[in-house]
Amino acid sequence: MLRSETLFGKRETNTPNSPLNTASGIVPTGTSGISKPMSSAAAPTNNADVTSSTNEGGSKLIVGPNIKLKGVEITDCDTLVVEGRVEATIDSRVIQIAERGAFKGSAEIDIAEIHGEFDGELTVRQKLVIYSTGKVSGKVRYGKLVIEEGGQIAGDIQVGTATASKGLSVAKVG
């Protein structure tokens, strides 16, 4: 007969700033201190791929592999990690699309890291990074652009973001 200690072991308590605790299956979800269960399939397979140049603080939404999120507006999210498929509108600080991830829709972002596919309207206020496996298509506006060898970009591409040009006005002299 099994002892109850082996089936119902004591869980460790995570704080919002603690690293991912895969032993207990708990992942921090933001600054509120509320944690949610996470299946092992939803954990990123290679954290270095999706967190290469961004800070881990703030609220984070992870759309795991084999998950499809369609027809939503994502708000108050500091970092969106896309490992599955997302059709949405988002205004956020960071978007990270994993190699097998895809985003379709409209996004206004400070920093975008694309390993997978983005299709739609993308405005990147600071830096757009397209890795060797990344494909970006649609209407793209960016502050700075980095494309790794093999990365692809197609569509209406322009340097400068819409938010940067909103504050400027043209005056006729003469």
Phi, psi (rounded to 5 degrees) for 151: -65, 150
Confidence of residue 56 (pLDDT cuts 50, 70, 90): low
Distance, CA of 122 to CA of 116 (rounded, Å)? 14
With a threshold of 0.95, does the pTM exceed it? no
Give me the percent of the chain exceeding a pLDDT of 70: 59
Tell me how many domains the chain contains.
1
**pLDDT, averaged across the chain:** 74
**Reduced 3-state DSSP string for 79-113:** EEEECCEEEEEEEEEEEEECCCCEEEEEEEEEEEE
In a domain? residue 31: no
Cβ neighbours around 55 below 10 Å, total: 11
In a domain? residue 7: no
pLDDT of residue 130: 98
- Which residue range is the domain that position 147 belongs to? 58-160
Structure tokens at 66: 């084999």
Distance, CA of 48 to CA of 64 (rounded, Å)? 16
In a domain? residue 76: yes
pLDDT of residue 126: 97
- What sections of 3-80 are H helices per DSSP? 4-7, 47-50
* CA-closest candidate to residue 136, choices 160, 152, 149: 152
CB 43, CB 22: distance < 8 Å:
yes
In a domain? residue 63: yes
Confidence of residue 58 (pLDDT cuts 50, 70, 90): confident
Structure tokens at 173: 């002299």
Q: What is the mean pLDDT of residues 62-91?
A: 95
In a domain? residue 138: yes
For 2-29, the pLDDT digits (tens) are 444 444 444 444 444 433 443 433 344 4
In a domain? residue 34: no
pLDDT of residue 57: 66
Cβ density class 6-43: b for 16+ within 10 Å, e for less: eeeeeeeebeeeeebbeebbbbbbbeeeebeebeeebb
Structure tokens at 122: 């993308």
Q: What is the mean pLDDT of residues 41-70?
A: 66
In a domain? residue 27: no
